[in-house]
Structures are given as structure tokens and as C-alpha cells.
Amino acid sequence: MILAPSRPGIYARGSETVDHILKAALGVLIDEGADAFTLRRIAARCDMKVGNVSYHFPRKEMLIQVMLDEMLESYDKLLEEMVRKPGLVAEERLKLVIILCLDDIQTKRTTHLFTELWALANQSAFVADRVRLFYGKVHEVIGEYVAQVNPALSADEVHSVALFISASMEGSTPFLGHQKPWAHKMPVFTAMAAMSLVHLAKTVTSRDLAGLMTEAA
């Protein structure tokens, strides 16, 4: 089990410095990539010496872990804000979540951070764990609406559909995300996703998910 490291910074000044470091670290990762994610660049970004970063985060790994936790927490909040829309039925909510997610994917922040995260998860058990937990929540949110528009599905089937919807959206990141080759097609992509994925959620049957590969070729 991997636990969340507690955040350093006792005095008001130190606490602010920790804020600056974390913000700068995220900025470096977004703007310059994992390759440039060094203490020196992070320190330079908040006009500070390397030793000070090293003082507040004795190990670089700690900085990464705290930064990742805060970042994913902010996305959790974003996700919850999407949900809190009054006066909508499940199908409308599902459609709205799709639209808002694809909208967020277009930001530089999300496009860069999540592509980096998917790569880092290949090697780092910590990153892989946090990514898994985060998307688990995403699937829960989406699954809630899937279950409502298609009550016949079992809990596991609902999760499978939510997983497909989530993956379909995330897959747009490297291709239609911020400054990606087909970014200009995001509007039509969104229209297709909303239509196709909502239709899938409403019409898919246990039979569809059970039959599997029997008639593949």
C-alpha cells in the first residue's frame, strides 16, 4: 500500500514556498516534459536555489508524489463539479460529462499531463497506482449514468461500458488535444462521441457483451 506523503512547510513563508515549488514543478512537467523535470529547473522557475527545494522535499520522489496527489485531487474536484448540474436526466448528464471531458482534454495542462502520466505509469508503481485510482473514480461517475440509462446491465457490465466510454474519450488526447495534429476536429469528434457513446450506453445488452469473439472472422 502506498500512502500519501504529508506536505512540508511549517512557517507561513515555508508553506508559501512549498506552494510555489509545487506549482513550478507542475509547470515544468507541462511546459518542458518529464525530461526537463529537474530540481534545478523547478527552483529556477520560482527564483530560488536548488538547496531550498531539496530542503522542503528531501527526496525528489517526495516532490513527485505530493505534486501528483494534489494534481489528481484537483481533477477529482473538476469531475465532481461536472456532476453537480441540476435538473438533468441521466442521458443528458452522460452527454454533458462527455462534452466537458473532451473540452478539458483540449487544455494544454490536461493534454500534456496525462500523456506524461501514462508514460510514467509504465515504470513507476506509484504513478500507476494513482492513475488507476483516479480513473476508477471516473468510471464510477460515468457508470452511475450508464446504469440509469440502461438498468438491465449488471454492475460489471456497467463498468465495462463506462471503461469503454472513458477510454474512447481519453484516446482523443494524443490526437485532438492541445496543439495536436487534428485538434481542429475536436468539435465534430465531440459530436460523434456524444452521439455514439450515449447510444451505446442505452442500447448495449448483456448478450452483446457475452457473445464475444464467436463471430469475429
Partner DNA sequence: ACGAATATTTGAAGACTGTCCAATATTGTT
Partner DNA sequence: AACAATATTGGACAGTCTTCAAATATTCGT
Which residues of the chain form contacts with its own copies (CB under 8 A)?
32-36, 92, 95-96, 99, 111-112, 115-116, 118-123, 128, 131-132, 135-136, 160-161, 163-164, 166-176, 181-182, 185, 187-197, 199-200, 204, 208-209, 211-213, 216-217
> Which residue's C-alpha cell is 484516446?
171
Q: Which amino acid type is present at position 123?
A: Q
Which residue among 1, 3, 6, 12 contacts DNA (CB under 7 A)?
Answer: 12
Among its own copies, DNA, none, residue 52 binds (CB under 5-8 Å by kind) = DNA
Q: How many CB atoms lie within 10 A of CB 33?
A: 13
CA separation for the pair 174, 56 (Å, rounded): 34
Residue with cell 530560488: 48
d(CA 113, CA 67): 12
Tell me the closest approach of the beta carbon of residue 121 to DNA, in angstroms. Answer: 19
Shortest separation between residue 15's beta carbon and its own copies, angstroms:
31
* Closer residue to its own copies (CB): 7 or 178: 178
176, 101 Cβ separation under 8 angstroms:
no
Determine contact, residues 64/163, Cβ cutoff 8 Å. Answer: no
Residues within the interface to DNA (CB under 7 A): 8-15, 17, 37-41, 47-52, 54-56, 58-61
